[in-house]
Chains A and B, each alone.
Chain A
Amino acid sequence: MSASSPAPSPSSSVATASPSGSITGNRLLQFAGRLAALAAVYLFFAFLTPEGKGFTSDANTQLMLQDIAVVAMAAIGMTIIIISGGIDLAAGSIIALAMITTAWVLNLDHNGVKLVTTHPQLLSLAAIAAAVLVASTVGLINGMLVTGLRLVPFIVTLGTMQMARGLAKMVSNEQNIYPPSVVQDLWISRVLDPARTLHTFPFLPPAVWLVIVAATLAALFLRYTRLGRHIFAVGSNEKTAILCGVPVVRTKIAVYVIGGFFAGLAGVIFFARLGSIGQPTEAIGFELFVIAAAVIGGASLLGGRGTILGTMIGALIITILRNGGVKMGWPQYVQEMVMGAVIIIAVAIDNLRNRRRT
């Protein structure tokens, strides 16, 4: 063999054409598996809940949609964090902090006059901006601690979970914040209002539409941007990412800021869900549902793997389980045990499938 290039193999070019379908096919199969699991969970409750409880009624579906909006919104950010190889245990506290911030801004007064009564639109926008900003800042702190101190994300966010919760309690003086009643009629409180019916336009509450739009954007972001591909690379093998000149520190910080941002939006929705009240002790342990949604959706806690679409299905499964358990009249402890079992089974099935493939 001299200076000439190695003979191009004609077979390899042929081989590249057909089986690429099998890889997409595999992904389709996984997606179908998740959809089937979702359908199974739904049908289980649809058939087994007592007739009068109305699991399948429109009213209950509206209720579930409201719950889904909060979990799913936060889970978008969590999925991105998990794909990067991280975790955010502070998500529940960030949601609470964002919710308190929203209530606090809407409760601002000037010379004894509640500002929201004079400037309702401005205050609503300011409340959302403040909530999202505070939440993103907690994310920024998470990211800087993880990269700056080189600490494990689990430990860092375990710490900031407590700190964000403490901050929420500090801001609210450890009491519920009740903004003036005019807030009840503002759009910020009505984002979860049921659509007139589920069968005519716009079918779903505004917040659910917002989740759908956000999820679509996040999925496109992960797939079609440089930062998105870098997030996968960092999660799959950080050393390779460093070797290839990926700005790993910046990527990780961005990931936690994004996570905080979505938890902040979830907090604003949660404010509406609670009936326009800021409750500093709400959403405790909520991060576990959010993580579970991502994991049931196929995200790997080792990083490098996960999809927004899968997570959305995970969020649906989690919410249906929580709602269905109540409708079945199961005691709290049974609900908790069922939830735990479902998480383990879902991940075990995923694991088995992956092992068989390799």
Chain B
Amino acid sequence: MTASRSPAVATAPLLTLRGVRKSFGATQALKGVNLDLVPGQVHALIGENGAGKSTLMKVLSGAHAADAGEMTLEGRPYRPEGPLHARSLGVCMIYQELALAGHLSVMENILLGIEPTRGPLLNWREMGAVSRRALDEVGLERIDPAALVEDLSLAEQQLIEIARAVAFGCKVLVLDEPTSSLTQKDVRNLFALVNRLKAKGVAVVYISHALEEVEELCQAFTVMRDGETVGHGVVGEVPVSKIIAMMVGRDVSDLYPRSIRTAGEPIVELTALAGAKFPRNASLTLHRGEVVGIAGLIGAGRTETLRALFGLDAVTGGTIRIHGQPTAPAGPGVRWSQGIGLVSEDRKTEGLAQNLSIAENLTLSKLEGLGPWRFVRPSRQRAAAEPWIKAFPIKCQSGDQPIEALSGGNQQKVAIARLLHHDCDVLLLDEPTRGIDVGSKAQIYAWIDKLALGDPATGKPPKAVLVVSSYLPELLGICDRIAVMSRGTLGEAKPVADWSEHSLMLAAVGQS
């Protein structure tokens, strides 16, 4: 890719990386990384999971030492000895998992490690004043420095981490997928803050999967693949499809396959379904051979609807019919036996048992038939997982590997493959592609399409798929019908042709 440089950026680079390499044993995590960061610019670092972004950030922050290559900060060689050293030189990281002490106050967190003292004692007045300034600078005027961090929302905590970076006087700020757990409104706040820091001359590195965020916020981008920087350029000059092609190393002409499908008989019918808090009123008919999407804001009750239907949460009202038969509220065990399976939105803490093997996770809901009587033969268990590992494909050494050794995308494929092993008729997918790489996304979309279509050759009947997603292009791309949930009430499921991103957003905020 050509290194076309925006004419607006005439400043000398603040931080440069040339041919940075890093190996762990036999694995080369970084095989040659070049990066130029300019003050007052937001630089997007894009790449699939496993492309080496995290390793690169750890090298930048001093958590790992580079094996080879050159790094300079403000023209001088930059060799951080550790995160604290990097921080004192002005390079700060904000990781996805926030690093705050919940039981301590905001000011203690902001000044952790650099507390002002008077003699042997903490200078509390100075701490209050310094943190007040830092908070004001990130637009958190409403936060009291004496408040406890655990009482704040996740978005506020994230901003406090950034305030901490500001208090340290950072010149380079690295944000690792900062919006992955934020609501739309919090994302706006965060973007406003990033733009303010940019105006102050901070060089911001923005790691994200969401290309539309990159288009909105960033000026320059660098794409990483397999531990190398494979392209860079100016945002807006390079078409998105080309950026995606750089990320996956091949052309993804159509990310969202949608075959011509015909809806069959209804499998699941919800009438005025209500849960303890959410949903308040959810009515929906799901037919064989269709993909139905549920859009809406985070916290509108979409996940709760799936969980109530699946028996993970209590049902307090309404009726559920499955295959035309009314069914009482029941636990997941019963739902599985009725041919319904659910992929949790949280694969780390709920969806998958991290230290169990792939085969173990994949077959957990249905160990029946893997041995005589109530026995389970491990060889049969592995054999049952094998075809899915191959067909998806799930990238792994073997079915015996623990889940935690896989990338997020491959973990998610295991979570979905569980439903296929169970041969469910109804697939409830809660945010099935959140936080996973584009390649895995494409595979999952293709599978959803394939399942909803059925396979006459093998006699596999079409399945019904219900998808909850916050990513509107995805819903518009793969669904036949979409319903919008707003404050616990599910709207009518209308054909996808009747929707646009705009109208979905309006419906989500209750303005349709």
Residues of chain A touching chain B, judged by Cβ–Cβ distance below 8 Å, are 1-6, 8-9, 12-13, 15-17, 19-20, 22-24, 223-230, 232-233, 236-237, 239-247, 304-305, 358
Q: How far is B335's CA from A1's CA once the two chains are assembled, in angstroms?
A: 33
Q: How far is B353's CA from A246's CA once the two chains are assembled, in angstroms?
A: 13
Q: How far is B381's CA from A224's CA once the two chains are assembled, in angstroms?
A: 10
Assess the B375–A225 pair: CB atoms within 8 A. Answer: yes
Q: How far is B404's CA from A139's CA once the two chains are assembled, in angstroms?
A: 33
B146 at interface by CB-CB < 8 Å: no
* Residues of chain B contacted by A228 (CB below 8 angstroms): 376
Assess the B332–A232 pair: CB atoms within 8 A. Answer: no
21 CB < 8 A contacts A-B: A1-B442, A3-B259, A5-B391, A6-B391, A6-B392, A6-B442, A9-B393, A16-B398, A20-B400, A23-B400, A23-B401, A24-B400, A224-B376, A226-B368, A229-B360, A229-B367, A233-B360, A236-B355, A241-B353, A245-B333, A245-B334
Interface bin, chain B? 35 or more
**Known interface pairs A16-B397, A224-B375; A232-B356 also in contact (CB < 8 Å):** yes
Assess the A245–B351 pair: CB atoms within 8 A. Answer: no
**Known interface pairs A5-B450, A228-B376, A243-B342; A236-B354 also in contact (CB < 8 Å):** yes
* Residues of chain B contacted by A17 (CB below 8 angstroms): 398
**Known interface pairs A2-B259, A236-B356; A243-B312 also in contact (CB < 8 Å):** yes
Measured between C-beta atoms, what is the minimum distance from B241 to chain A in Å?
14
Contacts A6-B391, A236-B356 known; list 7 others, CB within 8 Å.
A6-B393, A12-B390, A23-B397, A243-B351, A245-B333, A245-B336, A246-B333
Q: How far is B355's CA from A225's CA once the two chains are assembled, in angstroms?
A: 19
B212 at interface by CB-CB < 8 Å: no
B349's contact among A1, A233, A237, A246, by CB below 8 Å, is which? A237
Q: Tell me the nearest residue of chain A to B377, going by C-beta.
A: A224
**Digit string of B350-392 for contact with A (CB within 8 Å is 1, else 0)?**
1111111000110011011001001111100000001001111
Measured between C-beta atoms, what is the minimum distance from B468 to chain A in Å?
15
Assess the B344–A243 pair: CB atoms within 8 A. Answer: yes
Assess the A1–B446 pair: CB atoms within 8 A. Answer: yes
Assess the A239–B349 pair: CB atoms within 8 A. Answer: yes
**Digit string of B390-410 for contact with A (CB within 8 Å is 1, else 0)?**
111111111111001100000
**Digit string of B318-340 for contact with A (CB within 8 Å is 1, else 0)?**
00000000000001111111000
Assess the A13–B390 pair: CB atoms within 8 A. Answer: yes
B78 at interface by CB-CB < 8 Å: no
Measured between C-beta atoms, what is the minimum distance from B402 to chain A in Å?
9
Assess the A239–B393 pair: CB atoms within 8 A. Answer: no
Assess the B353–A8 pair: CB atoms within 8 A. Answer: no
A6's contact among B375, B376, B398, B447, by CB below 8 Å, is which? B447
Assess the A226–B389 pair: CB atoms within 8 A. Answer: no
Q: Tell me the nearest residue of chain B to A227, going by C-beta.
A: B374
Assess the A226–B374 pair: CB atoms within 8 A. Answer: yes
A8's contact among B334, B367, B390, by CB below 8 Å, is which? B390
Measured between C-beta atoms, what is the minimum distance from A357 to chain B in Å?
9
* Residues of chain B contacted by A242 (CB below 8 angstroms): 312, 332
Assess the A237–B353 pair: CB atoms within 8 A. Answer: yes
B449 at interface by CB-CB < 8 Å: yes
Measured between C-beta atoms, what is the minimum distance from B382 to chain A in Å?
8
Q: How far is B389's CA from A17's CA once the two chains are assembled, in angstroms?
A: 12
Assess the B257–A244 pair: CB atoms within 8 A. Answer: no
Residues of chain B touching chain A, judged by Cβ–Cβ distance below 8 Å, are 252-254, 257, 259, 312, 331-337, 342, 344, 349-356, 360-361, 364-365, 367-368, 371, 374-378, 386, 389-401, 404-405, 418, 442-443, 446-447, 449-450, 453
* Residues of chain B contacted by A23 (CB below 8 angstroms): 397-398, 400-401
Assess the A236–B375 pair: CB atoms within 8 A. Answer: no
* Residues of chain A contacted by B395 (CB below 8 angstroms): 12
Q: How far is B375's CA from A156's CA once the two chains are assembled, in angstroms?
A: 31
* Residues of chain B contacted by A233 (CB below 8 angstroms): 353, 356, 360, 364
Measured between C-beta atoms, what is the minimum distance from A1 to chain B in Å?
5
Assess the B376–A15 pair: CB atoms within 8 A. Answer: no
Assess the B336–A244 pair: CB atoms within 8 A. Answer: yes
* Residues of chain A contacted by B364 (CB below 8 angstroms): 229, 233, 240-241, 244, 246
Q: How far is B503's CA from A230's CA once the two chains are assembled, in angstroms?
A: 46
Q: How far is B333's CA from A226's CA once the two chains are assembled, in angstroms?
A: 14
Assess the B349–A8 pair: CB atoms within 8 A. Answer: no
Q: How far is B364's CA from A239's CA once the two chains are assembled, in angstroms?
A: 12
Measured between C-beta atoms, what is the minimum distance from B438 to chain A in Å?
12
Q: Tell me the nearest residue of chain B to A228, going by C-beta.
A: B376
* Residues of chain A contacted by B254 (CB below 8 angstroms): 1-2
* Residues of chain A contacted by B252 (CB below 8 angstroms): 1
Q: Tell me the nearest residue of chain B to A242, going by C-beta.
A: B332
Residue among B349, B350, B392, B400 having the largest count of chain A Cβ atoms under 10 Å? B400
Assess the A3–B450 pair: CB atoms within 8 A. Answer: yes
* Residues of chain A contacted by B259 (CB below 8 angstroms): 2-3
Measured between C-beta atoms, what is the minimum distance from A314 to chain B in Å?
20
Residue among A1, A24, A230 having the largest count of chain B Cβ atoms under 10 Å? A1
B397's contact among A13, A15, A247, A358, by CB below 8 Å, is which? A15
Assess the B391–A8 pair: CB atoms within 8 A. Answer: yes
Measured between C-beta atoms, what is the minimum distance from B314 to chain A in Å?
14
**Known interface pairs A224-B375, A243-B312, A245-B335; A2-B352 also in contact (CB < 8 Å):** no
Assess the A226–B332 pair: CB atoms within 8 A. Answer: no
* Residues of chain A contacted by B368 (CB below 8 angstroms): 226
Assess the A232–B360 pair: CB atoms within 8 A. Answer: yes
* Residues of chain B contacted by A304 (CB below 8 angstroms): 353, 355-356
B453's contact among A3, A223, A244, A245, by CB below 8 Å, is which? A3
Assess the B361–A240 pair: CB atoms within 8 A. Answer: yes
A-B CB proximity, top 10 nearest: A245-B333, A20-B398, A237-B353, A236-B353, A244-B365, A19-B397, A3-B259, A239-B350, A245-B336, A244-B364
Assess the A245–B374 pair: CB atoms within 8 A. Answer: no
* Residues of chain A contacted by B401 (CB below 8 angstroms): 23
* Residues of chain B contacted by A237 (CB below 8 angstroms): 349-350, 352-354, 356
* Residues of chain A contacted by B334 (CB below 8 angstroms): 245
**Known interface pairs A1-B257, A245-B331, A245-B335; A12-B356 also in contact (CB < 8 Å):** no
Measured between C-beta atoms, what is the minimum distance from A220 to chain B in Å?
9
* Residues of chain A contacted by B386 (CB below 8 angstroms): 16
Assess the B312–A245 pair: CB atoms within 8 A. Answer: no
